[in-house]
Amino acid sequence: MKHWFDLYAVLIRSSIQSRMQYRMNFVLGTLLASLIQIAEFLMIAIILNKFGAVKGWSLHEVGYLFAVMTLSKTLYRTFASDVHHLERYLTTGELDQLLTRPMPVLLALMSQNVRLMPAELLQGSAVLYWSLHGLMSAGQITWTAVPYTLLAIVAGAVILFAIGLATAAVGFWMTRINELQTLTEDASQTAARYPLVLYPSWLRSFLLVAIPVGFVNYVPSLFILRGEYGPWLILAVALLAACVLGLALTFWKFGLSRYQSTGS
């Protein structure tokens, strides 16, 4: 186990070193990402400011949902980088190379082309700070929300990773998975940035059962922000994260055994 952790660390470091060869590209990319992040948040802020609270959710609460989703996603995309880009490996046959190495393919894939995401991290943290601060000042929550939130972010990252992994594994049959990823990853994550009560019940069930992104931020927030249910809710979310991860890994392994490679 220690060997894998060490190796993962070495590979991530090499990945970042490679990227630093193109410093200008890194700086530009980070700047652009920051702009996109600011624009995204401004849009939500403007909408909320105009309409005030939505279905009983205050601006600070929506900011919280938004921030937790951003941070979970950042964590997932940083530490499992190229799982999201499996399609490229499948179409070019690059996966062959990873399969000739004495390490799990998933670990190899996770450590390829690692991208540091300082813009996303900064924006997520800032919004989270602002939300928590506002809610604490209003006396809605206490400092205990902080450790619960951190736990929720990590569990959320695991859930997003599991969804991404399962989607990628479909690629072993379909090869082209970009469209599917738009549905299961991008669109779902964007939708879950808002309180799920906004949506019709079929969509809410979809975001909780079919693609369980609702468990990343919405479900934990019911307890952390509103004191509903109880602390066990966070534990249940963590448990659920472990379960979907297990399922996704099993599916991934099965998919890998069906890998067809490309012609030479």
Partner 1 sequence: MGAMIEVCGLHKQFRTPVVKEGRFAGIRTLFTRECRLKEAVKDISFTIQKGDFVGYIGPNGAGKSTTIKMLTGILHPSAGEVKINGVNPHKHRRRVAQKLGVVFGQRSQLWWDLPVKDSYDILAHMYRVAPAEKERRLAELGELLDLKEFWETPVRKLSLGQRMRADIAASLLHDPDVLFLDEPTIGLDVTAKRSIREFLKTLNGEFGKTILLTTHDMDDIEQLCRRVMVINHGELSYEGTIEHLRDKIGLPTVIRIVFRGSYRLPAQEGARMPLQLRLNGAEGEFRIIEASGSEVLIEANRQQAKAMDILRMVGGWGEIADIHMEEPDFEDIIHRVY
Most distant CA pair in the chain, distance: 64
Nearest distance in Å: CB 10, partner 1: 5
- Provide the token pair at 222: 């019911």
Q: How far is CA 108 from the centre of its chain?
A: 19
Place of tokens 């046959």: 93
Number of Cβ within a 10 Å radius of residue 257: 8
Q: Which is nearer to partner 1, 21 or 49 (CB)?
A: 21
List interacting residues with partner 1 (CB under 8 A).
Answer: 3, 6-7, 10-11, 14, 17-19, 21-22, 94, 96-97, 99-104, 174, 257-261, 263-264
d(CA 151, CA 137) in angstroms, rounded, equals 22
Q: Which is nearer to partner 1, 92 or 144 (CB)?
A: 92
Nearest distance in Å: CB 100, partner 1: 4
d(CA 127, CA 134) in angstroms, rounded, equals 11
Q: Which is nearer to partner 1, 205 or 262 (CB)?
A: 262
d(CA 260, CA 3) in angstroms, rounded, equals 30
Nearest to 241 by CA among 154, 166, 174: 154
Nearest distance in Å: CB 223, partner 1: 41
Q: Which is nearer to partner 1, 129 or 254 (CB)?
A: 254
Number of Cβ within a 10 Å radius of residue 164: 21
Nearest distance in Å: CB 135, partner 1: 45
Nearest distance in Å: CB 202, partner 1: 23
Q: Which is nearer to partner 1, 54 or 103 (CB)?
A: 103
Nearest distance in Å: CB 4, partner 1: 10
Nearest to 113 by CA among 149, 143, 89, 142: 89
Q: Which is nearer to partner 1, 170 or 236 (CB)?
A: 170
Q: How far is CA 161 from CA 76, 167, 211, 240, in A?
A: 6, 10, 12, 13
Q: Which is nearer to partner 1, 91 or 97 (CB)?
A: 97
Nearest distance in Å: CB 18, partner 1: 4
- Provide the token pair at 107: 């670990």
Q: Between helices 118-137 and 145-174, what is the axis angle to 10°?
A: 140
d(CA 177, CA 173) in angstroms, rounded, equals 10
